[in-house]
């Protein structure tokens, strides 16, 4: 069991499969990209599956989310999903993706055992998409979303970040579109995870701003903490339901007290929090031929030291040294 000194139990594992991405979102990385991890530094497919197996069979993990960078760029993704789906007990599995490769891979991922997807899409306007991502791939994301829904990777969740002066007026339009296409929309407050450290608390679009904008067109009924559990998103019924919209207020209303996550970076480091500044190396332990028991022990000790909160609610917060693409969202 992965328990910490605040009696939180981690049952949700986030696995970054690569630090690479085929977009250059302004809130994540610079236009020229980053210095990518060397291939020998990345966990191999076998190493990823072994760590997931240890987490599921020895440490109580019940949900696995594959992230990046962009996880669809990982050549062995379908095989990794298939092998993890064969574990007993079988974990629930999902991916967080920019959606560009989903039209090509959605059916294969569903057949391999993937349960659902989260797709990042911040705007319905192709020109704004190009400005935000520095790539002209808006139609590909829309096609990927449709492919995921048609393949049965449901509920298809859409993650949107609103940026001042770019798409901050789009919240009602995004929700109307999501309801029309039967996607579950979740707005995420912009977090300090950009490599160029350009994030500023002042001027960010807050959860309160988003809800105020949505209420100009929709009636929102709060779902309540009983339904939320340990999920990061606060959710509201839209016009009485059945559709819902979520808001992840990581900055203004952190959910650290109910956090149930543990994270593996693409190069095999355990992180207790997305914003942690410390890591515990599992790759070196793996490659030293350590038995499963030793790997589980080190992982357990790492999680025992998890801090009470992310620190995002502290005005003096220091950004993690590694960008989001290397850590996994």
Distance CA 163, CA 201 (A): 12
Say if CB 20 and CB 71 are below 8 A apart.
no
**Do residues 153 and 99 touch, judged by C-beta distance below 8 A?**
no
pTM for the structure as a whole: 0.89
Strand order across the beta sheet in which 116-120 lies: 220-222, 234-238, 244-248, 184-188, 157-160, 116-120, 92-97, 63-67, 12-16, 261-264, 269-271, 280-281
Distance, CA of 33 to CA of 23 (rounded, Å): 9
Q: pLDDT over 70 for what percent of the chain?
A: 87
Structure token digits, residue 257: 């007290």
Tens-digit pLDDT profile for residues 223-232: 876 555 567 7
pLDDT score, position 320:
53
> Over the chain, what is the mean pLDDT?
89
Mean pLDDT of 111-124: 97
Q: What is the pLDDT of residue 267?
A: 96
CA dist., res. 162 & res. 169, Å (int) = 8
159-182 per-position pLDDT tens digit: 999 999 999 999 999 999 999 999
How high is the pLDDT of residue 232?
A: 79
Q: What is the mean pLDDT of residues 300-322?
A: 71
Q: Where are the alpha helices (DSSP H) in 113-223?
A: 126-133, 138-151, 171-181, 207-214
pLDDT at residue 323 is higher than 60: no
pLDDT-based confidence at residue 36 (cuts at 50, 70, 90): confident
Q: What share of the chain is helix, strand, coil (3-state, %, to 5)?
A: 35, 15, 50
Taking residue 304's Cβ as centre, other Cβ atoms within 10 Å add up to 12
State percent of the chain over pLDDT 90: 72
Q: What is residue 132's predicted lDDT score, i.e. its pLDDT?
A: 92
pLDDT of residue 238: 97
Q: What is the mean pLDDT of residues 100-115?
A: 97
Q: Which of 128, 116, 118, 201 is nearest to 154 (CA)?
A: 116
Q: Look up residue 318 and give its DSSP letter.
A: P
Confidence (pLDDT) at 52? 98
pLDDT band at 261; cut points 50, 70, 90: very high
Any idea which of 5-19, 67-81, 175-189, 297-311 has the lowest mean pLDDT? Answer: 297-311
- pLDDT for res 199: 46
Confidence of residue 328 (pLDDT cuts 50, 70, 90): low
For residue 200 the two structure tokens come to: 């500023």
Q: Which pLDDT does position 329 carry in this prediction? A: 57
**What is the C-alpha separation between 121 and 45, in angstroms, rounded?**
28
Given pLDDT bands bounded at 50, 70 and 90, which one contains residue 310? Answer: low
3-class state of residue 67 by DSSP: strand
Report the pLDDT value the prediction gives residue 309, as an integer from 0 to 100. 76
On the question of pLDDT at 244 being above 50, the answer is: yes
């Amino acid at each position: 069991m992965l328990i910490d000194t605040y009696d939180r139990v981690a049952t949700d594992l986030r696995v970054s499969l690569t630090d690479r991405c085929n977009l250059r979102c302004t809130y994540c990385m610079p236009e020229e990209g980053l210095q990518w991890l060397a291939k020998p530094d990345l966990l191999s497919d076998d190493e990823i599956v072994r760590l997931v197996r240890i987490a599921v069979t020895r440490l109580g993990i019940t949900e696995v989310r594959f992230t990046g960078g962009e996880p669809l760029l990982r050549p062995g993704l379908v095989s990794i999903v298939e092998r993890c789906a064969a574990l007993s007990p079988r974990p629930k599995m999902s991916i967080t993706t920019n959606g560009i490769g989903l039209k090509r891979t959605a059916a294969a991922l569903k057949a391999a055992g993937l349960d659902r997807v989260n797709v990042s899409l911040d705007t319905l306007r192709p020109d704004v998409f190009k400005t935000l991502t520095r790539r002209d791939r808006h139609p590909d994301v829309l096609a990927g979303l449709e492919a995921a829904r048609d393949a049965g990777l449901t509920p298809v969740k859409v993650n949107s970040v609103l940026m001042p002066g770019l798409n901050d007026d789009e919240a009602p339009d995004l929700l109307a579109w999501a309801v029309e296409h039967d996607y579950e929309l979740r707005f995420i407050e912009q977090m300090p995870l950009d490599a160029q450290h350009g994030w500023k608390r002042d001027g960010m679009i807050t959860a309160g701003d988003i809800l105020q904008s949505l209420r100009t067109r929709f009636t929102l009924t709060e779902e309540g903490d009983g339904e939320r559990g340990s999920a990061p998103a606060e959710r509201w019924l839209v016009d009485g339901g059945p559709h819902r919209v979520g808001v992840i207020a990581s900055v203004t209303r952190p959910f650290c007290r109910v956090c149930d996550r543990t994270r593996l970076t693409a190069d095999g480091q355990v992180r207790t929090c997305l914003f942690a500044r410390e890591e515990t190396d599992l790759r070196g332990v793996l490659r030293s031929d350590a038995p499963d028991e030793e790997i589980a022990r080190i992982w357990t000790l790492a999680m025992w030291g998890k801090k009470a909160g992310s620190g995002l609610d502290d005005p003096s917060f220091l950004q993690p040294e590694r960008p989001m693409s290397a850590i996994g969202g």
